[in-house]
Amino acid sequence: MKKILIPFLCVLCIGVVLYYIDPITNKIVDKVNEKQPLVILPSNEFTKKNSYQYVAISEDYTPYSYQDILNIYYSVINNGWDQFTFYCPSEYADCLKDIEAISGDELILTHLNNYIHPFNSFTNVRTSIKESGETTIKIFYLYSEEEKATINHKVNEIMKEVLTNDMEAYDQIKAIHDYIINNANYDVERNEGISTKYQSHIAYGPLFQGYATCNGYTDLMAIFLSKMGYDNYKIATTPDEISYSSTGHIWNAVKFEGQWLHIDLTWDDPVSSDGKDYLFHTYFLVTNEEMQEADQGDTVIEEHNFNKLYYLEFNE
């Protein structure tokens, strides 16, 4: 009798386990996740308080949609955190697939990075994903702590020197625009892929070395705009949107008197054939329509053909 009963009971137990394998697995995953509470650290001083139509600040770091995941990435980077771990809930079936889609798309991450204060912007984001739904984001930031402190100190000095309380808001922004252009030249060598001694791709270059690429101009202007209290972000066009460029282009967007407008210091500080320095205001606080009109000259400019799916404020 025992010889029959024992195998029967073994088969019965295996059958029960197989029948309940999914709920048991889910319970185990949930228990594992419960043992690892989210670690929410304080944000740093350069964290932006603004949400946008494309991406918003997360109130809850448990995602239930693709947009939630995008918001988590924005919030983690925006807060200046070096690393953050979150978990997919069992009811979000496509969670891991959506994380892989976002973390593996450099275009999405590039546009996402443009909403961050320059001092919290990154050079690289690495994501590790476990089958349990545990996801860890590791951020490698562009600016060192020393660079941030040095730039921040100089920016404060310039604002005291250039701006006065009796200046209109328009004139204050214009004064900063002009100061940057008058104290920097475009770094042609870096743009052409030639080795350069200048840190022209970040705000340090135009501020201390007198050379900038579009990234350097835009970062420095964004730092000033944020310190002056203006909501702003950067807009980028990628090589796919510009037929003759391999690098793309980037410039500033700022909310001024209730309207989102463009500022492009790169094109207001052109490289001239006669070697002279020029200062223009062609792309200073302009609307979409005004920018497009300015682009229609003897040579049609494609650099401003940005994808409005990423910068939805300019669809209004």
What the block records as the tokens of 121 is 């912007």
Asked if residue 274 belongs to a domain, the reply is: yes
Asked if residue 7 belongs to a domain, the reply is: no
Average pLDDT on 170-182 reads: 98
**Which of 141, 160, 189 represents a domain boundary (last residue)?**
141
Asked if residue 95 belongs to a domain, the reply is: yes
**Is 303 in the same domain as 165?**
yes
**Which of 141, 160, 176 represents a domain boundary (last residue)?**
141
**Is 234 in the same domain as 150?**
yes
Strands (E), the chain: 83-87, 122-129, 134-141, 185-186, 211-212, 232-237, 249-256, 259-263, 284-286
**Is 136 in the same domain as 157?**
no
**Is 276 in the same domain as 153?**
yes
pLDDT of residue 301: 83
**Is 94 in the same domain as 190?**
no
Question: Could you give the number of structural domains in the chain?
Answer: 2
**Is 183 in the same domain as 276?**
yes
Sign of the Cα torsion 56, 62, 68, 73 reads positive
pLDDT of residue 17: 46
Structural domain including 149 reads: 145-315
The CA–CA distances, whole Å, from 230 to 44, 226, 306 equal 18, 5, 22
pLDDT of residue 36: 74
**Is 102 in the same domain as 182?**
no
DSSP track, 143-189: S-HHHHHHHHHHHHHHHHHH--TTS-HHHHHHHHHHHHHHT-EE-HH
**Is 186 in the same domain as 236?**
yes
pLDDT of residue 16: 46
Asked if residue 4 belongs to a domain, the reply is: no
Please tell me what DSSP assigns to residue 120.
Answer: G
The pLDDT tens digits of the residues spanning 252-305 come to 999 999 999 999 999 999 876 556 778 999 999 999 999 999 999 777 788 999
The CA–CA distances, whole Å, from 40 to 58, 77, 93, 188 equal 12, 13, 25, 43
**Which of 113, 141, 169 represents a domain boundary (last residue)?**
141
Asked if residue 229 belongs to a domain, the reply is: yes
Asked if residue 13 belongs to a domain, the reply is: no
**Is 240 in the same domain as 153?**
yes
* Bridge partners, residue 186, by sequence: 212
Asked if residue 6 belongs to a domain, the reply is: no
**Is 130 in the same domain as 162?**
no
**Is 36 in the same domain as 125?**
yes
Asked if 181 and 269 count as a contact pair (C-beta separation under 8 A), the reply is yes
Average pLDDT on 121-126 reads: 98
The pLDDT tens digits of the residues spanning 223-237 come to 999 999 999 999 999
**Is 275 in the same domain as 194?**
yes
